Structure 1
Amino acid sequence: MDETARVPADLLGGHPRMLSEAAATGRLPGREALDGYRAAGARAAELGLPLREMVDAALSMAEAVVSGPSDPGSSAPGASALRGSGSDPAASGPAWPGPSGEGQAKGAAPAVLSALRRAVSALMEGYENAQRLAIRQEEAARREFVDDLLHGRADRLAERAEHFGLRLAESYVVAVARPAVSVRAVDTGPGGTGLVGVGSDGTGPGGKKAAPDEAGTPGLRDSDPVARRIEEALVARFGSHNVLVAVRDGLLVCVAPGSLSAATGEFTHHVRQAFEPGWCVGVGRAHRGPGGVVASYREAGNAIELGDRLGLRAPVLKAADLLVFPVLLRDREAIDDLVTTVLSPLLEARGGPEPLLDTLEAVFAVQGNQAAAARRLGVSTRAVTYRLERIRRLTGFSPDDPTQRFTLETAVLGARLLDWPAQPLGPAVRA
């Protein structure tokens, strides 16, 4: 089928006459004509016409002009092949300049080819500019949707969710990845903590402006090629309507259906390949509805923050595995009292409490194996034994006793959560 038959007449209606004029006079298309070609290319992109068809149609009309003379009393060569053309092609579409005179096209191929090259170049420029604009608009809409989704703003959320393939009645899991950068947490208020990432605009979780000493090194940006590669890999495997990947607050966020269990594992796999050592992934639990996405997002970010506070070495932290820690933080007075009662005697130790706290953490991490704890700490087994005895004498608690071990380990975890002893506990509790 002739490609010109697929192109609406209002897009290239003036093209044959411009070519005929170039053949007759050698005149190249001016600024007005080139602007018309750019507008035609942009319109073709908006209509979804393939660029190949537009270029083929333009070339076919040029062949008709070069192959023989035009009849001054009829339409320009090639014009009748345009879809929907039943009248003068110059009467529709962009304002193409009219011919100064029709003449024989034979022997004028160089002039026609030069004019054709400029015309096709302008046509392609308009088409590509329109496509780039459409991509930017789609990315802006996607960023806005992700912001609204992760912050629980429900205005028109369901309508836009369908466009991006999310069925909000289902349960979704959110995973967030933080690159190996120096990023500190920002407190988001009572009852919870925020994500640890800081966005490229300097804002922390929830849009709060990070303090200068909290900003650290910026995380990912919206245009980061690493984020785009991971998104493309996930879309290639699961489809664009099954995963949503975006950058938010300097973190790479992946939203996937709870039923798609392989998605978070695949996300982590690509993060491991793309990020430098030191990366961390937090995975929230599956929740239903728009509010469920927000809850899972916060859980994933809080998992990373808890890992930082507790010094956890695992690169993948699941909120489901860390449920005990939010429970501890909910009763702040009780955890303050526990830390003060059990661990405050360590403040009297020579060299401070930190070496003893580190020893307890290492011993608990290896289920009481003192030799393994010594290797983790880089000290001798004898030094670990001495420190544990010192802890027993100061606090009255020993990790060798099952009941005391639980109390001691909970107190150590609470101290890390509260950043004790660097952050003193409330005076009312200590009193």
Structure 2
Amino acid sequence: MTPGARRRSRKTGPDVDDAWLAGVAQDVSAAAGDVPVDLLGDFLPLLADAAVNGRRPRRSELEAVEALGRRAAELGVSAGSAVQLYLSASWRLWRELPVVVRSTDSEVVRAAAEAVMHVVADAVAILAEGYNSARRQMVRREETLRRELVDDLLRGDADVGGVVERAEPFGLDLARPHQVGLAAPRRRLPDVDAATSSLERIVLDRLGDRDVLVATKDGLVVVLAPGESEAPGRMDLGSLMRAELDRLPRGRPWQVAVGRAYPGSYGIARSYEEAREALAMASRLHLDTPVIRAEQLLVYRVLVRDQPAIVDLVNAVLGPLRTARGGAEPLLATLETYFATGDVATETARQLHLSVRAVTYRLGRIKTLTGYDPTDPGHRFTLHTSVLGARLLGWPGDGTTDGA
């Protein structure tokens, strides 16, 4: 017997009483499977009252059905199963309803059917409304919890036990190695959230729904995934992210950076910092590489670790270029492109939109001003290191090395 049937002591009409409704409820319960029959509440008495007396549900009664819809969502019952429970209950009650079974008056049956259908329509509509309202609240609550969890993981929250407990419902085993991938649009895009949704679908499909989180932070798309050693033979995270983002309308170009995999909650924060630093260095070095792995930029981290030394090197080697006509930047750009093309003057000229003669002239000026010959293998390392250091320091544009 449903709670609603137990609460009602009055008869709704001849032969329609609590005992009969309890029997119908038992039939519904047997057919409901895993769906709690208590979700019907007072629905069966409402149907019987409508069939016998033609009464429409009161507002308070419909509000009770709405609350049951919210309850169904909270219990994890699917919307289809909840609606099917109500339709099945309606069918079973109508099939056994005495006023219908025993009546020979078609007008009575028609009126009862019309009244019952009104109640079913009203109840199912308000049930679905309550269900959807609860689901929206649950989704918003889950999004908030996910966002807070991602922020704490990337920050390296000190409450490790709390983070581990909060990560479990999202399928994260923080004892396993994880890596973080960051995707940055090269220009402002209209909807980063759309990129996140699209990327989340493909990442979950390729990597599974455990140990994976996709979110946004500071205008970047963030993907937390198992370390590559956990899934040998799969497409690496950076290539997977780049391939999917490039499929988006107006999605190009993106640049993706991936940190190395580390175990534990602090390992996630470490991988995130590596990926973020890789993006920052790529920007300062004007790298257009679509996918950057943190280990590929370790040499640059070594350069910036001892900043006083690299400042001294840049000033000592490249400082004289400031005296050149037009300043140091054109000569610095020539050196940068020359080294990037493997010391090929013709390719350097093509990329800089200069003649080969102009490139050769600039290389000669650099030798005269600095005393280092870019075409001499013995001088190349010193010049190349100085150029990299200059780009990392923003030299000569912002004067960070002046007076160092």
TM-score (norm 1): 0.79
Give a deviation string over 1:263-318, Cα, whole Å, max 9, x none: 41322221222362231101112222222111111111111111111111211111
* Map of 1:359 onto structure 2: 334
Distance, in Å, in 2 between the alignment partners of 1:50 and 1:332 is 60
For residue 93 of structure 1, what is the aligned residue in structure 2?
none
Q: How far 1:399 sits from its partner (Å)? A: 1.3
SS of residue paired to 1:124: helix
Q: Displacement, 1:377?
A: 0.6
Q: How many positions carry a matched residue from both structures?
A: 363
Match of 2:245 among 271, 274, 279: 271
> SS state of the match for residue 252, structure 2?
coil
Whole-Å Cα distance in 1 between the matches of residues 341 and 225 of structure 2? 34
CA 1:325–1:219 in structure 2 vs 1: closer, same or farther (change >3 Å)?
Answer: farther
Structure 1 pair 413–219 and aligned structure 2 pair: CA distance change class (3 A): farther
Structure 1 residues 9, 254: CA separation in 2 closer, same or farther (over 3 Å shift)?
A: closer
> Quick one: which amino acid aligns to residue 118 of structure 1?
D
* TM alignment of 1:44-193, pairs within 5 A: 44-67=72-95, 69-70=97-98, 107-155=111-159, 156-181=162-187
Match of residue 239 from structure 1: 208
Quote the offset at 1:158 in angstroms. 1.6
Paired residue for 1:411? 386
Q: Which residue of 2 aligns with 1:190?
A: none
Q: Alignment partner of 2:247: what SS?
A: helix
Change in Cα spacing, 1:169 to 1:62, as seen in structure 2 (3 Å) is closer
Higher-RCO chain (CA-CA 8 Å, sequence separation at least 6): 1
**Which residues of 2 match residues 320-339 of structure 1 at below 5 A?**
320-339=295-314
The share of aligned pairs that are identical, in percent, is: 45
Q: Distance in 2 between matches of 1:304 and 1:357?
A: 22
1:218 to partner: Cα distance? 8.2
* Deviations, residues 69-115 of structure 1 (Å, cap 9, x unaligned): 447xxxxx9xxxxxxxxxxxxxxxxxxxxxxxxxx656421222122
2:375, 2:62 → 1: CA distance? Answer: 85
- CA change 1:54–1:278 in 2 (3 A) is closer
Aligned AA (2:48): S
Question: Could you say what secondary structure the match of 1:314 adopts?
Answer: coil
Q: CA deviation at 1:410?
A: 0.8
Q: In structure 1, what residue type is equivalent to 2:235?
A: A
Equivalent residues of 1:45, 1:127 under 8 A apart:
yes
Note the 1:323-402 alignment, pairs <5 A.
323-402=298-377
Report if the CA contact (8 A) 1:180-1:276 is conserved: no
Contact 1:219–1:250 at 8 Å: present in 2 too?
no
Aligned to 1:291: 266
What is the CA-CA distance between 1:381 and the residue it aligns to?
0.9
Report deviation, 1:21. Answer: 2.1
Higher helix share: 2
Give the Cα–Cα distance (whole angstroms) in 2 for the partners of residues 13 and 166 of structure 1: 38
Contact 1:300 1:319 in 2 (8 A): yes
> Which runs of 5 or more structure 1 residues have no equivalent in the other structure?
72-76, 78-103, 182-216
- Kindly provide the amino acid, as one letter, of the partner of residue 113 in structure 1: M
Against the structure 1 CA distance between its residues 242 and 219, is the aligned structure 2 distance closer, same or farther, given a 3 Å change threshold? farther
Q: 1:248 aligns with which of 217, 229, 245?
A: 217
Q: 1:420 to 1:427 in 2, by over 3 A?
A: closer
Aligned to 1:203: none
**Matching residue of 2:15:** none
CA contact (8 A) 1:22 1:112 kept: yes
Which residue of the partner structure matches residue 6 of structure 2? none
Contact 1:176 1:301 in 2 (8 A): yes
Contact 2:258/2:274 (8 A) holds in 1: yes
What SS class does the counterpart of residue 273 from structure 1 fall into?
A: coil
Q: Secondary structure of 1:252's match?
A: strand
Is 1:21 the counterpart of 2:49? The answer is yes
Q: Which residue of 2 aligns with 1:11?
A: 39
Other-structure match for 2:104 = none
CA distance in structure 1 between the aligned counterparts of 2:395 and 2:190, rounded to whole angstroms: 28
Is the 1:4–1:53 Cα contact (8 Å) retained in structure 2? no
Please list, as runs of the form range in 1=range in 2, the aligned pairs for 1:420-431 lying within 5 A after superposition: 420-429=395-404
Q: What SS does the aligned partner of 1:262 have? A: coil
C-alpha separation in 2, matches of 1:415 and 1:64: 81
User: AA paired with 1:179?
Assistant: P
Whether the 8 Å contact between 1:246 and 1:253 is mirrored in structure 2 is yes
Instruction: Provide, for residues 209-266 of structure 1, a one-character-per-residue CA deviation record: whole Å limited to 9, x for no partner.
Output: xxxxxxxx58965xx1220111111112221103221111111111222223634132
* 2:394 aligned partner, one-letter code: D
**Contact 1:176/1:253, CA 8 A, preserved across alignment:** yes
Cα distance in 2 for residues equivalent to 1:162 and 1:173: 17
CA distance in 2 between partners of 1:60 and 1:35 (Å) = 21
Report if aligned partners of 2:175, 2:263 keep a CA contact under 8 Å in 1.
yes
- For the 8 Å contact 1:230–1:270, the answer to whether it is kept is yes
For each residue in 1:383-421, what CA deviation from the matched residue of structure 2 results, as whole angstroms up to 9, or x when unmatched? 111111111111111111112111111111111111111
Q: Secondary structure at the match of 1:175?
A: strand
Cα distance in 1 between the residues matched to 2:168 and 2:379: 54
**Residues 51 and 112 in structure 2, CA contact (< 8 A), matched pair in contact too:** yes
For 2:202, give the aligned amino acid: A
Classify the secondary structure of the residue corresponding to 2:209: coil
CA 1:111–1:232 in 2, change beyond 3 Å: closer, same or farther? same
Partner of residue 235, structure 2: 262
Question: Which amino acid is the alignment partner of residue 165 of structure 1?
Answer: G
